[in-house]
Amino acid sequence: MQLLREIHSRLSYAGVTIDTTKPFELEAAMSELNAIRETLARLETEFASHMDLQALTRAGLNPRHVRALLRRADAQWEEDITADHQDEILRALTQLSPASERREEIYQQAATEVLGYNRPTSPEQTWKYARELVVQENQRLATDPLQARVQRRFTLGAPDEHGGAKFSGYTTPETGALLEALMNQAFSTTTNEDGDYRTVTQRQHDAFAEVIQWASSNRVNSTGHASLAVSITEIDDFDPTTRFPTTTRFHLSWFEIAALGGDNITDYIVVHSRSGTVKKLITGQRSASFEQRIALLAEQLVCQYPGCDVSAGQCEGHHVIPWSQCKITALDNLALMCRKHHRMNRDDRSGPHMQKTSEVVAGQTTLEWRKTTHRQPRKLPDVDSGETIRGSSPRCGVRLLQW
């Protein structure tokens, strides 16, 4: 806590009366305040190294400042580099290709420039210098024709309090070219007529949504590409604020379901009884096995392994009684399991390891797990026998009987 003691000793200067008519006293006071600011920057960076994004946000820090603090906490910091210049160097380095092995070298070059004879006059000039070094390194790596493919990524965030979600990514040149061509076509189909008050970015979003709808409308029926199942219970309140679970992490209102229905995207509306059992499946033409899978997704919503809440869209159909023993693929012999827990399955055990009930109490259970002879999983939820483990839906969950 040496930095904290240093700040405390410096703050004792605040009790001294400053004569604002004397420039030298003002300059000395401002210099002292700047030194305190730099010491504070070092101290909060040290604290931030032991905290995460959520903790810093709860502490009341500005999100932009939080990002700068976390960058500082994860990077080296030369002793004579001020916080402003440090932040600008690190901001430029965020654009450096992950394939580069010269991050520390580029930092040292920028730091040397700051401390050298050609010292920049402002943090902005420091950023420009560091940015130029980053661009040169990225251009050097750009000679690798597979670099864009190595860096490709896409992230879709979880729904927020409004039901929407953020997404970001980086794509390959060929995918970018195809997406831009389709976006341009979709953008021109929604002309900005009188009375259309959408911003340019809103129109870009709507064009992107149009492209997604084109892809879904032209999907291959045998695979159910881009299909979406919406789950409805007989006792649900059908008011504008009601949201219904789907086979994804997103819950949709009637307004949002209708917006998709016009493009034949939401083919699957599954109606449940009060107990959660599927009573009716409204769907398009699909093979019987695919209808079973959609009904299964809508009935269970998440992986049925105890305590797991991976969404149905990321799960696989699993035979309760192994296929090798019964040769039956029926709705009452299927359960959803995520890939991780499905891989743990062994069909050489004796008898079924789960039992699916015909009538399931809403909010309690869809499957009962029985004791088996195979090796127990490494991580078993810490619950009492008979306790319900809830997932992300009021109709999902499992009840441990005995392991």
- Tens-place pLDDT, residues 5-42: 665 565 555 556 666 677 777 777 777 777 888 888 88
Q: Please tell me the distance from the alpha carbon of residue 214 to that of residue 199, in angstroms, as a whole number.
A: 23
pLDDT tens digit sequence for 79-123? 788 888 888 898 899 888 888 888 889 998 888 888 876 665 688
Q: 235 and 364, same structural domain?
A: yes
Dig out the tokens for 382 from the structure.
Answer: 């810490």
Amino acid at 272: H
Domain, as residue range, for 211: 175-187+200-218
Query: Whose CA is closest to 86, among 115, 57, 61?
Result: 115
Q: Please tell me the distance from the alpha carbon of residue 257 to that of residue 262, in angstroms, as a whole number.
A: 9
Q: 322 and 204, same structural domain?
A: no
Q: Please tell me the distance from the alpha carbon of residue 244 to that of residue 246, in angstroms, as a whole number.
A: 7
Q: Is 166 within a domain?
A: no
Dig out the tokens for 319 from the structure.
Answer: 């035979």
Size of the chain, expressed as the number of residues it contains: 403
Residue numbers in the chain where pLDDT is lower than 70: 1-20, 117-121, 144-145, 190-194, 217-230, 232-241, 254, 256, 258-300, 313, 318-333, 345-403
Q: Is 279 within a domain?
A: yes
Q: 242 and 210, same structural domain?
A: no
Tokens 């001020």 found at: 82
Q: 124 and 253, same structural domain?
A: no
Long-range contacts of residues 116-124, Cβ cutoff 8 Å, at least 24 apart:
120/85, 123/84, 123/85, 123/87, 123/88, 124/88
Give me the helices (H) in 51-172, please.
53-58, 63-73, 83-93, 103-115, 123-141, 147-151
Q: Tell me the percentage of the chain whose pLDDT exceeds 70.
A: 55
Residue 269 has a pLDDT of 62
Q: Is 338 within a domain?
A: yes
Q: 375 and 238, same structural domain?
A: yes
Phi then psi for residue 268, to 5 deg, are: -115, 110
Burial 129-143 (b: 16+ CB within 10 A, else e): bbbebbeebeeebee
Dig out the tokens for 401 from the structure.
Answer: 């009987």
Query: Whose CA is closest to 137, among 105, 180, 169?
Result: 105
Q: Is 70 within a domain?
A: yes
Q: Which pTM was predicted?
A: 0.40
- Identify the three-state secondary structure at position 357: coil
Q: Which letter does DSSP use for residue 178 in this model?
A: H
Amino acid at 380: L
Q: 254 and 209, same structural domain?
A: no
Number of structural domains found in the chain: 3
Q: Is 163 within a domain?
A: no
Query: Whose CA is closest to 362, among 232, 180, 190?
Result: 232
